[in-house]
Chain A
Amino acid sequence: MSFRQILGKIALWISVFVIVSPAILFFLWMLSLSVKYEIDNAAYPPVFIPDRISLDNYVQVLTSNRFTTYFFNTLIVTGSATLLALLVGVPAGYGIARMNAHKSAIVILIARITPGLSYLIPLFLLFQWLGLLGTLVPQIIIHLVVTVPIVIWIMIGYFETTPMELEEAAHIDGATRWQVFRHVALPIARPGIAVAFILAVIFSWNNFVFGIVLAGRETRTLPVAVYNMISFDQLSWGPLAAAALLVTLPVLLLTVFAQRQIVAGLTAGAVKGG
């Protein structure tokens, strides 16, 4: 290895270090805050690696009875919004791709550009009139604004790349259009559905703006609950950091384990909800 190559290697590793450290340091600091005692968290200069660690902060967050409620709220909202989006979005993506109806994608684009708040004003009034505000239903419905465009967008792209020959063969053999979709197109599209599912789950889970308007005390999702913690117990950082980490942990785990799908989905559609 020549001197020049070694120099290049060193430069590369320094660059890698510089690029990745803001993310690594941030999440390590988050972890550090969440396992330290309050004395260490309030110390200056800051304590990076504490002498003693405790899981008290986590216990405190998890045992507060509301956390479980909010966790299940989030699970119900994200789960329902994602499943409903797959239910209507996957066939729609298939239909649009097979009809070559690319102009219809403009609606998806408008949905992508519109600020989430713009949907909130009319839908808030609608839910008020329907008397749904105390329940989780409004949040499930409005999360469709995030999940449906993601699913349709990704599925159009995916069905366009799947081969038509098999479908044509099934068609000639007398299968109905529905049977072709159900037994030929759908199994092939499974990787695409996985991408759509993962991204829909993440962007629905992370959504905050819909919750702050539509959620009541009992119907908060986790991001809203965490936000309320900021405004009320600003003083103790430990439990706050623990709560923040717990809220985002499922998403971070998904990011690590489904990195390939996430990258594929984001670079194909470059969609983001909200």
Chain B
Amino acid sequence: MSIEAPAQQAELRPPSYWPFVLPALIVVLAVIIFPWVFTIWMSMNEWKVGAPTTFVGLANFVRMPNDPRFIEAVGHTLAYTALSVILPLIFGTFAAIVFHQKFPGRGVLRGIFIMPMMATPVAIALVWTMIFNPQLGVLNYLLSLIGIPPQLWVFHPATVIPSLVLVETWQWTPLVMLIVLGGLAAIPSEPYESALIDGANFWQMFRYITLPLITPFLFIAAMIRLIDALKSFDIIFAITQGGPGSASETINLYLYSVAFVYYDIGYGSAIALVFFVLIIMLAAVMLYARQRMHWNEIGGGA
């Protein structure tokens, strides 16, 4: 038998699995690879809808650092992203610890808890707009009950980004919860048992047993959150359209305006490329930070 095995192996994994992959490959080439290649080409052209195109090299990229609206959008994106990563991570970890406990109705309550992230974002945005309404909104009413004066929420430049982050946090905390919950399920019970015998309290057990063991899962959650928050579009577009003024205009929203309001396809393509590189770079920085941290843990762990 053992002599026959290699021959069988060779028979089982020749390139003849290609017919299975080919249709998908064609689709991926058409809707993912082609757009990318075409975008790179367009970004090097002066390309406006209805006007002849001319090759301009890197001029579209040079335009970006001198475009105050773009620079401002980068700032908004970074602020929005930082908050939209940190807050869901904190609340999601807390929620995961709670849902890791056993209590009656846990399944149903978990189902309700993950509803915000599955619900249609535009439909949610619409209801949040009503909730944020400064005159009739239920949020200002609830705040008035505990003596906080009415806020303008998404209607004021200073509060618009935190308000949108509130929606984003409400929406995406469940995803962090699910990922961390998966991490908690993988932790064996022995460390807790011995910690209990040693008289550790709840906080100490969390800090010295749970937290180190779920760190890889927190990292994955943070990574996904980072990418999604950078790309966030539906909620911002449906609630504020980047306003008031341009106070909540992120790169993605600015990209939309450039490409589909001003029809400046060339510049829009250049922004799309820079945006993609920015996402990859930030993800790489996080990966690097994680590796450094990991190295420090090992180095300082003795």
Contact = CB atoms under 8 A, between A and B. Distances in A.
A262 to B, nearest CB: 7
Contact of B170 (A22, A114, A115): A22
Interface stretch (A51-59, A63-71, A88-96, A189-197): A88-96
A141 B92 CA distance: 35
Contacts of A94: 17, 20
Interface in A211-244: 212-213, 222-224, 226-227, 229-230, 237, 240-241, 243-244
A19 interface: yes
B24 A117 contact: no
A250 B32 CA distance: 29
Interface string B95-108: 10011010100010
Given A181-B20, A206-B121, A115 B12 contact: no
B24 A91 contact: yes
Contacts of B299: none
A226 B124 CA distance: 11
A3 interface: no
Interface string B39-62: 100100000000000000000000
B228 A89 contact: no
Contact of A121 (B123, B129, B182, B265): B265
B120 A248 contact: yes
A208 B238 contact: yes
Interface of B is mostly: helix
Contacts of A142: 31
A125 interface: yes
A154 interface: no
A274 B39 CA distance: 17
Contact of A177 (B17, B99, B113, B237): B17
Given A117-B272, A121-B259, A263-B178, A42 B123 contact: no
B167 to A, nearest CB: 10
Contact of B98 (A12, A44, A145, A263): A12
Interface string A131-148: 000000000011011001
Of listed B32, B110, B116, B269, residue having the most chain A CB within 10 A: B32
B21 A95 contact: yes
Contact of B178 (A123, A245, A267): A267
Given A226-B122, A227-B238, A267 B141 contact: no
26 contacts: A12-B101, A15-B98, A20-B113, A26-B170, A27-B115, A29-B127, A30-B127, A33-B130, A43-B136, A44-B135, A88-B23, A98-B20, A99-B13, A110-B32, A113-B276, A115-B252, A121-B259, A122-B35, A124-B260, A171-B12, A205-B120, A222-B120, A223-B121, A241-B126, A255-B119, A272-B228
Interface of A: 12-13, 15-16, 19-20, 22-24, 26-27, 29-30, 33, 41-46, 84, 87-89, 91-92, 94-96, 98-101, 104, 107, 110-126, 141-142, 144-145, 148-149, 152, 168, 171, 177-178, 181, 202, 205-206, 208-209, 212-213, 222-224, 226-227, 229-230, 237, 240-241, 243-245, 247-248, 251-252, 254-256, 259, 262-263, 266-267, 270, 272, 274
Q: Which 8 A-B pairs have the closest CB atoms?
A: A95-B20, A92-B24, A244-B123, A122-B38, A95-B21, A91-B20, A248-B120, A122-B35
Interface of B: 8, 11-13, 15-21, 23-28, 30-36, 38-39, 42, 91, 94-95, 98-99, 101, 103, 107, 109-116, 118-127, 129-131, 135-136, 138, 141, 170, 175, 178-179, 181-182, 220, 224, 227-228, 230-231, 233-234, 237-238, 252, 255-256, 259-260, 265, 268-269, 272, 275-276, 279-280, 283
